[in-house]
Amino acid sequence: MDILFKYFPALTSLQKEQFAQLKSIYTDWNSKINVISRKDLDSFYLHHVLHSLAIAQFVNFIPGTRIIDVGTGGGFPGIPLSIFFPETQFTLLDSIAKKIKVVQAVSDALELKNTSAVQSRSEDFKGRYDFIVSRAVTNLPDFVRQTRHLITSKSSNAIANGILYLKGGDISEETAPFKKKVFIASISDWFDEPFFETKKLVHLTL
């Protein structure tokens, strides 16, 4: 938990309280429905919460921004981002019902008013959003094909609307088809823990 204060010292008292509750809520639900590996649960705030908040180091979403987290799994990066940006609207999407059950339960426990959890395949889902966020659910070209219909073209934030994709390792082959439409940031530029050495944030405009 202290690692969040290291990089985000200006969290409000409510945000601190919500982040503090996260691990116990996930630990309880994980004993019923396995959405986080035991190893990752031991490093919960580093591997899941701080990793999700790398997006908050890249862009400060303006109030009213609409974001969809595609393939949210247990709620990452969507849940930490929805705590961090309480005036931004988040839809957390996954095709697996038990994962959405956990996401909804976490959202309810934290009383998040800006978050909705939906079970659907992204290809079948209708809606228009400023940004799609995701943690490496598939290779990037396939992800773009499955989700690009969800992006609205009119941008209001400091960066252009598009996809914000968290992924590790060598992603040069995946990003090659997009050339000038892609910007790749190294998360290690923001967070100095070894876990982030190979982690990237991809911003792709469509």
How much of the chain is helix, strand and coil, in % rounded to 5? 45, 20, 35
Among 144, 145, 143, 151, residue whose Cα is nearest residue 126: 151
Specify the CATH number for the domain of residue 164: 3.40.50.150
Q: What are 143-172's pLDDT values in tens digits?
A: 999 999 999 989 999 999 999 999 998 899
* Domain span at 146: 2-205
Asked if pLDDT for residue 4 goes beyond 90, the answer is yes
Under a CB-based contact definition with an 8 Å cutoff, are residues 176 and 202 in contact? no
Burial class (CB in 10 A: 0-12, 13-18, 19+), 70: buried
For 76-107, what is the HEC assignment? Answer: CCHHHHHHHCCCCEEEEEECCHHHHHHHHHHH
Number of domains within the chain: 1
| Chain length of the chain | 206
> What amino acid is encoded at 70 in this protein?
V
Q: What are 113-139's pLDDT values in tens digits?
A: 999 999 999 999 999 999 999 998 788
Mean pLDDT computed over every residue of the chain: 94
What tokens appear for 158 in the block? 């400091």
Burial class (CB in 10 A: 0-12, 13-18, 19+), 206: middle
Per-residue pLDDT at 34: 83
